[in-house]
Amino acid sequence: MSYTSERRRLAPVMRLARQYDFATNPAPEAIFEAGTGGFQIWCTPEDHPKGWDGITMNAGDFSKPCEFVGSVHWKWDDEKITGIVLETDSYALSGKLHDGDRHKCHNRKEDIEWAKKKIRWLFTKAELSMPTVYVY
């Protein structure tokens, strides 16, 4: 394995993350934002983690109303991707649930569970096995 072959192996996932980019694709399942070493996950008023009901989401310059949920990046062991690292930060909930304390909105159980389902959907659609998810 090498860095290049590992990136090539996961290229179908990244292609789909670009295809289902929330900023440009109005489709309901378009909730991703591809980066260089992983992708971001966003939610919409219709598709969001438990506890997000009543959160106002605005479209701004994007294709639909949305809010940031979390980040996914590759977990490397030497030159091999051995998993994916997931971190969530429900900034939109900080005022509603925790009086503005953003630290309490980091890696909420509900956000992690929802994000894992979305990651699994992306890997399944790419016809790849989903690596182990590590939450930091």
- Residue 69 · residue 102 · CB < 8 Å: no
pLDDT (tens digit per residue) in 72-128: 999 998 888 899 999 999 888 876 665 555 556 899 999 999 999 999 999 999 999
- Span between the terminal Cα atoms of the chain, in Å: 25
Predicted local distance difference test score (pLDDT) of residue 3: 64
Q: Scan for tokens 């966003």, then name that residue.
A: 42
pLDDT (tens digit per residue) in 1-51: 676 787 788 999 999 999 999 999 999 999 999 998 899 999 999 999 999
- Residue 85 · residue 134 · CB < 8 Å: yes
Q: Give percent of the chain with pLDDT exceeding 90.
A: 72
pLDDT (tens digit per residue) in 45-73: 999 999 999 899 999 999 999 999 999 99
Residue ranges making up the domain that contains 11? 3-135
> Which parts of 20-133 fold into alpha helices (H)?
94-98, 109-125
Q: What angle do CA 86, 75, 30 make, to 5 degrees?
A: 45
Predicted local distance difference test score (pLDDT) of residue 99: 55
Q: How many domains does the chain have?
A: 1
pTM: 0.91
